[in-house]
Chain A
Amino acid sequence: QKEVEQDPGPLSVPEGAIVSLNCTYSNSAFQYFMWYRQYSRKGPELLMYTYSSGNKEDGRFTAQVDKSSKYISLFIRDSQPSDSATYLCAMSARRANSKLTFGKGITLSVRP
């Protein structure tokens, strides 16, 4: 079993839809959970950052972490064509200035 598994996609939704992106992991040492967004021909950019279990909301984006199930999610409300990108989950046992383990990424397309 890989340390981090992410739904492979791709995913295509109509504008305005609620999008749910998920990752599971096997390493109990992971404490820091991140979602990165990567536009075509660009480097990944941090979208959401969560420590331990719980929810975090930022505008249309909500990150959820369930450490008991080793499951993290990213929800996008009222999705926009500008949200079309590849989304990567990432996790680490320590802070961001240490080894991050990434999911393979899922490509999201939001249709106008």
Chain B
Amino acid sequence: EAQVTQNPRYLITVTGKKLTVTCSQNMNHEYMSWYRQDPGLGLRQIYYSMNVEVTDKGDVPEGYKVSRKEKRNFPLILESPSPNQTSLYFCASADYNEQFFGPGTRLTVL
């Protein structure tokens, strides 16, 4: 089944404790992206990657890092999470016509 998977689905952590949210796709897509979704603000792009070893900032990159060492994986790294990064995070991969979204990761930073 073609899909985008994210792990973990739910995470509660404390301020300053480094964490990684994994994202993997099995559709051989070159383009991948991370979004955060907040009430009243909608979906905002954090980082995106056009291909392996090519990443670039989206609209809200502060406090986040990404890497793209393999085509299928695009992890999101929070080096020192803060409460304002409490949000619902989505990974997506895309072909020419569609962005396919993962199931989401709900992150709470205390």
Q: Are A46 and B99 interface neighbours, CB within 8 A?
A: yes
**What is the bound-complex CA distance between A95 and B95, given in angstroms?**
8
Residues of B within 8 A of A44 (CB): 43, 90, 101
Overall SS of chain A's interface = loop
Residues of B within 8 A of A49 (CB): 97-98
A98 close to chain B: CB less than 8 A: yes
B residues adjacent to A (C-beta < 8 A): 4, 29-31, 40-45, 48, 50, 58, 90, 92, 94-104
Q: Are A43 and B101 interface neighbours, CB within 8 A?
A: yes
**In A47-82, which residues have CB < 8 Å from any B CB?**
49
Contacting residue for B42 out of A95, A98, A104, CB 8 A: A104
In the assembled complex, 30 residue pairs joining A and B whose CB atoms fall closer than 8 Å, in A order, are A41-B104, A42-B104, A43-B4, A43-B90, A43-B92, A43-B102, A43-B104, A44-B101, A46-B99, A46-B100, A49-B98, A88-B42, A88-B43, A95-B97, A96-B94, A96-B96, A96-B98, A96-B99, A97-B29, A97-B31, A97-B95, A97-B99, A99-B45, A99-B58, A102-B42, A102-B43, A104-B40, A104-B41, A104-B42, A105-B43
* Interface range, A side: 10 to 19
- The distance from the CB of A111 to the nearest CB of chain B, in whole angstroms, is 23
Contact with B along A83-100 (1 / 0, CB 8 A): 000001000000111111
Residues of B within 8 A of A96 (CB): 94-99
A45 close to chain B: CB less than 8 A: yes
Please give 7 more A-B residue pairs, beta carbons under 8 A apart, in addition to A43-B90, A44-B43: A43-B102, A46-B99, A96-B98, A97-B95, A99-B45, A102-B44, A104-B41
Residues of A within 8 A of B45 (CB): 99-100
